[in-house]
């Protein structure tokens, strides 16, 4: 088969330790995948920080041109991400505005969004590169921290936006509005706004429901609420959600657990649906429920 993708960016593990990045170089994983892509007729590039994380005395990919994320967006028609779900979250947010599809190869345990095992990547990728795949679009949230009417922090999130109490403080009090409607003042350890992608992350551990990726909604999940009748709420993603910090010390807001903003009393975290979505490609026949069964160990021990 001939690949329908002509220019492919090979993207390694973001925020990996130097030791792990050097190990990746020594065991030849990226080189093996790059060679395979070339055998399928692809021109291979490497995301620049993948090279930067490797010891300069032993460059991992001297034969592949290194590109910035912006250059990948402008010059490539596929991103092949090697790592885990955190790796995919990081690059997915950055490339969403370019509309480039992403395929995830997982180096460790099966991920929710990096779902191709490393030990079987060749057999899985050959038909996918030829155009036989399932396409899966994931929504993004655009979040801002507003202080005295001015945006002091701006971020995209694929999983969730979380407002948390300080590590050594008590509960926070949060005023929650959805659309133009006041919902409630909530006292809790925090509050999670999760996309369908993020419904299997922190929101799940806090008691939230699973949302299928095709559902155009968000889930609002309180963390250890003072009033036990405060339960998770499913919301349409067309509505703007505003969380105002009314009380509590050392509170913060984090976005996909990868960026953090400190909050002051009166700050408002405003969350809207982004104009961009992330495009994932999966093997033909892929099902979201297959991933849930494998990742959450459903049916184990049953007949």
Catalytic residues: 85
* Residue 273 Rama label (left phi>0; alpha psi -120 to 50; beta): beta
Q: State which H helix or E strand residue 121 sits in.
A: helix 121-129
What is the β-pairing status of strands 133-147 and 116-117?
A: unpaired
Sign of the Cα torsion 104, 54, 69, 156 reads: positive
- Collapsed DSSP state (helix, strand, coil) of residue 111: coil
CA atoms within 13 A on the CB side of 286: 20
Helix, strand, coil % over all residues of the chain, rounded to 5: 25, 40, 35
């Amino acid at each position: 088969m001939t690949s329908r993708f002509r220019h492919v960016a090979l993207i390694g593990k973001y925020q990996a330790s130097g030791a792990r990045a050097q190990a990746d170089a020594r065991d030849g994983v990226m080189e093996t995948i790059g060679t395979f892509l070339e055998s399928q007729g692809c021109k291979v590039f490497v995301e620049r920080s993948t090279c930067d994380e490797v010891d300069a005395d032993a460059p991992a990919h001297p034969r592949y041109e290194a590109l910035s994320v912006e250059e990948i967006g402008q010059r490539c028609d596929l991103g092949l991400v090697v790592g885990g779900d955190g790796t995919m979250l990081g690059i997915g947010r950055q490339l969403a505005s370019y509309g480039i599809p992403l395929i995830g190869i997982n180096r460790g345990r099966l991920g929710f969004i990096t779902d191709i095992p490393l030990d079987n990547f060749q057999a899985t990728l050959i038909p996918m590169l030829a155009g036989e795949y399932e396409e899966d679009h994931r929504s993004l949230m655009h979040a801002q921290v507003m202080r005295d009417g001015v945006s002091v922090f701006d971020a995209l999130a694929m999983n969730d936006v979380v407002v948390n109490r300080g590590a050594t403080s008590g509960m926070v009090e949060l005023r929650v509005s959805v659309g133009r409607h006041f919902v409630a003042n909530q006292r809790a350890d925090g509050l999670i706004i999760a996309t369908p992608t993020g419904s299997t992350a922190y929101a799940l551990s806090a008691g939230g429901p699973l949302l299928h990726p095709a559902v155009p909604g968000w889930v609002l999940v309180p963390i250890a609420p003072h009033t036990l009748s405060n339960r998770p709420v499913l919301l349409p993603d067309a509505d703007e959600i505003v969380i105002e910090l009314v009380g509590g010390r050392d509170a913060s807001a984090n976005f996909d657990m990868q960026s953090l903003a400190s909050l002051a009393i009166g700050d408002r975290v405003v969350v809207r649906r982004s104009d961009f979505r992330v495009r994932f490609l999966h093997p033909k026949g892929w099902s979201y429920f297959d991933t849930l069964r494998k990742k959450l160990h459903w049916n184990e021990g049953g007949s």
